[in-house]
Structure 1
């Protein structure tokens, strides 16, 4: 629950991390400061800022960032008074040493993310994060690819390493509310009472907010969203609309949805070079169960090789490609072209 009130939800904004995918990781330091300052005044508990693929994600494979992670983190930390600055770390992309540098730059919360069946690779990073004093949560990405019992086994591993919260993460935006309910409920019932459960959703099937609600009803204490839905694929649950819905439901968040809506429209929407929305390609992500951040890579491969992006995404789904396999997108495009 919230660090200030244990009886209300903990609201985590991901505009400056998941949203980086939609902007090809090109957010300026001035924009980061403006968004961070505005979010801090809306009452969110935490705001995440790194390359879209987390610490050290800037690379040929994932896309180079316009600034370094440490520059983005320091800019956000300088702009906030109460909200926690959060970072993402994917073992194999980011290193444990990156956590030391990020903490020095001002980060105080981390989400350590693995594929939903590979929690065992997170141990070293969780231990380092806890030793440094981070609020330490974990992501089970592509959670739709594991049944509730399997997901609980993986969450228990993360808990045993020291995770304070484990998230059900619908990276593909492929789950329906009943899918979220089953997975969040399994974690909530199977983990220690003091270990929180979180929910991270995407809009690819237009269920981002509905799935966030399902997660909360099943016992999730932490909920992710982004301004104007800025994020990979069709985007994340739009935080301003999500908070408005929680207000209507009588669920305490401590956030001001009117201010959130103003920042979404005035600051974030003008940044979009491609509308973040449910359209033919982003819808295919959810339908085929494909990692949301593959969208912009698939569209580039489609333009480069003359193969429809939708066909590339469907084939990626058939091959069960997961986060970290972005280098296979061009291979798939060339295979389709050859055939």
Structure 2
């Protein structure tokens, strides 16, 4: 699967997230080093800063493919070209036409459908005169007639589109319905046209829907670091990559060239640049995702631990904490972690004192643990 990383365009649409061109360039360089296939460099016609951001991303990268978004209007497409023309050989245009049939009472109006098809074909054909590749978005896919979407996909492919992106723009599909739509559209497309999946997460289904779409035949996945994006966000990149490495490591549908060990650092840098805080228990990127307090998890047998996901894969470590839910094993592990020689400690006495402290402190801090050890 190809990874289309859209943090710097769709991800930045999240409320309160604003990146300067230099910041986008730094993140793009990290994403290229990580091994993503395509970086979404932005929507150059949207503003001067967006144009400068796309330009900076192109200059900061060397070989990763770039995508620039433009409406089907020639002046937008020209603006997109002007931002990346110095690297045009590795750039694609991404475009779309609004689903005008959804704005009327007549969703199956053949005249509206024909106008959408004609406008789409013109945009793709014009884009292919300038760009080596064009991606066309089937926006609001979950709200539209599948037969029309299939016809539209075939028309733009005939006009020169190299990739068709199925976008569940309003999170109106589940895994079964999305997989069915992917299969339906894929059957009608000529061999050699890529199919991309772009899921939003308003219903919390973006990850599951993306996995279903991969199994149904898409070969490009659009995702953002931490799932950031407008409203409910997008498919989280780290979840897809971790899932692929753990559950699908022998499945060719999920093969990709990304290095996972820099994932957390990129997420941490993004959070620092934007001020955006991931939920503390958000899978893989949350501050406390790999913090363990409960005794049953502290005392897992090694053969069980060896079969679980290793956080080192994404550049993280398990962090032990001590509180009311901890056992002796967790207490011992924590003391060794903070450099205490545990060979002569009476753990049953110390454990009682620690549990007394936990009644008021909740999670017992390192300073308290060290004090209790000295007082024994």
Question: One fold, TM greater than 0.5?
Answer: yes
| Moved >6 Å (runs of 4+) | none
Q: TM-score, normalised by structure 2?
A: 0.64
Offset, 1:272 = 4.7
Q: 2:269 aligns with which of 267, 287, 292?
A: 267
Q: 2:46 aligns with which of 57, 69, 72?
A: 57
Q: TM-score, normalised by structure 1?
A: 0.70
Instruction: State the SS of the aligned residue for 1:206.
Output: coil
Partner Cα distance (2:278, 2:177) in 1: 24
Partner Cα distance (2:176, 2:97) in 1: 23
Q: For residues 127 and 102 of structure 1, do their structure 2 counterparts lie closer, same or farther at Cα, with a shift above 3 Å needed?
A: farther
Offset, 1:57 = 2.3
Offset, 1:92 = 4.7
Instruction: State the SS of the aligned residue for 2:7.
Output: strand
Instruction: State the SS of the aligned residue for 1:101.
Output: helix
Q: For residues 49 and 257 of structure 1, do their structure 2 counterparts lie closer, same or farther at Cα, with a shift above 3 Å needed?
A: same
Offset, 1:211 = 0.9
- What is aligned with 1:73? 54
Contiguous gaps of at least 5 residues in structure 1: 1-8, 59-66, 278-339
The answer (yes or no) to whether the contact 1:170–1:202 under 8 Å persists in 2 is: yes
Higher relative contact order (CA 8 A, sep 6+): 1
Partner Cα distance (1:93, 1:100) in 2: 10
- What is aligned with 2:69? 88
Partner Cα distance (1:177, 1:153) in 2: 23
Partner Cα distance (2:276, 2:74) in 1: 26
Say if 2:92 is the partner of 1:109: yes
Instruction: State the SS of the aligned residue for 1:169.
Output: strand
Partner Cα distance (2:124, 2:271) in 1: 35
* Range that drifts further, 118-127 or 165-174: 118-127
Q: 1:258 aligns with which of 257, 261, 264?
A: 261
Offset, 1:74 = 1.7
Structure-to-structure mapping, 1:176-325, within 5 angstroms: 176-248=174-246, 249-250=248-249, 251-264=254-267, 266-272=268-274
Give the alignment's Cα RMSD to 1 decimal. Answer: 2.2
The answer (yes or no) to whether the contact 2:15–2:230 under 8 Å persists in 1 is: no
Partner Cα distance (2:75, 2:227) in 1: 25
Question: Which structure's CA Rg is the greater one?
Answer: 2
Q: For residues 128 and 68 of structure 1, do their structure 2 counterparts lie closer, same or farther at Cα, with a shift above 3 Å needed?
A: farther
Contiguous gaps of at least 5 residues in structure 2: 102-115, 280-376
Instruction: State the SS of the aligned residue for 2:44.
Output: coil
Q: 2:35 aligns with which of 43, 56, 81?
A: 43
Partner Cα distance (1:94, 1:174) in 2: 32
The answer (yes or no) to whether the contact 1:32–1:75 under 8 Å persists in 2 is: yes
Q: Deviations over 1:191-245 (max 9, x none)?
A: 1011111100111111111111111111101110011112111111111111111
Partner Cα distance (1:105, 1:270) in 2: 30
- What is aligned with 1:11? 3
- What is aligned with 1:142? 140
Partner Cα distance (1:120, 1:27) in 2: 36
The answer (yes or no) to whether the contact 1:235–1:276 under 8 Å persists in 2 is: no
The answer (yes or no) to whether the contact 1:45–1:84 under 8 Å persists in 2 is: yes
Instruction: State the SS of the aligned residue for 1:12.
Output: strand
Q: For residues 88 and 113 of structure 1, do their structure 2 counterparts lie closer, same or farther at Cα, with a shift above 3 Å needed?
A: same
Partner Cα distance (2:86, 2:233) in 1: 28
